[in-house]
Amino acid sequence: MKYLIRTVVLTALLGGLLFTGAQPATTQAGTAELVFTTPCPTPACPISPPTNPCPYLPSPPPADEVWFMSGLEVRNVSNLYGVQFTIRFDPTILQVMDTDSDTPGVQIQIPKGTYFEGRDHFIANNEVDNAQGIIRVAVSLYAPATPINGNAVLGFIIWKYVGTGVSNVSWGNKVETKLVDSNGANIDYTPKDTTLGCPAPPSYTGKVLLQGRANYKDTLVILAMEPCLPSFPNNLRIQSSAQNIIPDMPYAFTNTSGEFSITPYTQQEGNYRCLLVFQHGYLTGQKDIPRGGATNRYAGEITLLGGDVNEDDVINIFDLVKISYHMGAGRYNSVADINSDGRVDISDLTIAANNFGLRGPQSNWQNSGF
Ligand SMILES: [Ca+2]
Ligand SMILES: [Ca+2]
């Protein structure tokens, strides 16, 4: 038994010595790393990315304003001659931009600015599947090029953000992603995955109830960058009446419980100053947002008062006249139907009459966090 162990150890030692002697430049297992360097690899990106790559979400951003780069680097490698890698990303958050308009499909950037530039190399594969979120690349040096030792940039990815959130960006498994020496033997390495993304700012939430109704759905809530004014902005009232999408303003409609949640646009985070609330037939509502944005974003709860049928943010004789007109047979009007029960009758008139003389915008939010 002792003899056997000694033989095995001796053989292993000899094997190690022989192996080292035959291939003096071979790797030390596990010391190499594959890394993503973002936004700029060392020593420098070939081109400079914009300062803020996060898009103006959810509005579609101009494509040329939102790109940025990651370098694909190998570090502490010895005798590297060929590389094959698979990289995965979340295509709902990131897309890879094409760097080679002469080749069909989408390619990452090789060799410009990488180790391969100016050296004999063969690109066997360079394809990006932006639908699945997969990059596949295979590159080998060829003679008389000498192997890579130390650190080297293998490629560049030009990304653009297409959605809010954070994507994992990962190297494939050891079958998909391989470093090989000039004999085609695997070089061990440690893959360093990364995350990229623009986390969404915290949402403003709250609850808008409607006097006289049990179902509180479809009240429009808007985040505005202008401070709240003494009167509701007429341009927003016109647009919200048409239920158009409001350009460059985050908005949401309440659910049946009256709850809303609005996520600020990433680039305007901290610039919103007023929460505006609009529902047909009701006084408007609003709430000041502190400069720089609220820390606790629960706006609280407000009950809009009904009866403003002509939507001038005051409940007066004109509204009562209008409701009574629509009480007539064949004159149903959904805005005059304050309580939304399918009829314009004394219930709607009474709601308006009881609010006679009141004006919007209301700002009596309860239990607000700001
Ligand atoms: Ca009115
Ligand atoms: Ca009614």
- pLDDT single digits (tens) 74-114: 999 999 999 999 999 999 988 999 999 999 999 999 998 89
Question: Rounded to an integer, what distance in angstroms lies between the CA atom of residue 208 and that of residue 299?
Answer: 10
Domain assignment of residue 79, yes or no:
yes
Residues 263 and 247 occupy one common structural domain: yes
**108 and 241, same domain (yes or no):** no
| Same domain for 277 and 151 | no
Residue where a domain terminates, one of 177, 198, 219: 198
Please tell me the distance between residue 73's alpha carbon and the centre of ligand 2 in angstroms: 68
Q: Which of 135, 167, 198 delimits the end of a domain?
A: 198
Strand extents, DSSP E, 89-143: 94-96, 121-129, 134-141
80 domain residue, yes or no: yes
Q: Are residues 260 and 193 in the same domain?
A: no
Both 261 and 321 in one domain: the answer is yes
CATH of the domain at 79: 2.60.40.680
* 212 C-alpha to ligand 2 centroid (Å): 9
Rounded CA separation 322/210 (Å): 20
Could you read off the pLDDT of 127-172 as tens digits, one per residue?
999 999 999 999 999 999 999 999 999 999 988 877 777 889 999 9
| Domain stop point among 198, 223, 245 | 198
> 361 lies in a domain?
no
Q: Are 233 and 166 members of one domain?
A: no
CA of 365 to the centre of ligand 1 (A): 22
List of residues 6+ apart from 192 with CB closer than 8 A: 33, 34, 35, 36, 171
Residue 283 alpha carbon to ligand 1 centre in Å: 8
| Residue 236 included in any domain | yes
Q: Are residues 42 and 111 in the same domain?
A: yes
CATH number at residue 291: 2.60.40.4130
Judge whether residue 177 has pLDDT over 70: yes
Look at the chain and report how many structural domains it folds into.
2
Nearest ligand atom owner, CA of 322: 1
- Which of the two residues, 61 and 264, has the higher pLDDT score? 264
Domain that holds residue 280: 204-354
The model's pTM is: 0.64
Q: Spell out the alpha helix ranges (H) of the chain.
A: 2-22, 234-241, 317-326, 346-354
Question: CA-to-CA distance for 174 and 171, rounded, in angstroms?
Answer: 9
Within-domain flag for 362: no
Are residues 33 and 168 located together in one domain of the fold? yes
- Tell how far the Cα of 312 is from the centroid of ligand 2, in angstroms: 20
Based on the fold, state whether residues 289 and 182 are members of the same structural domain: no
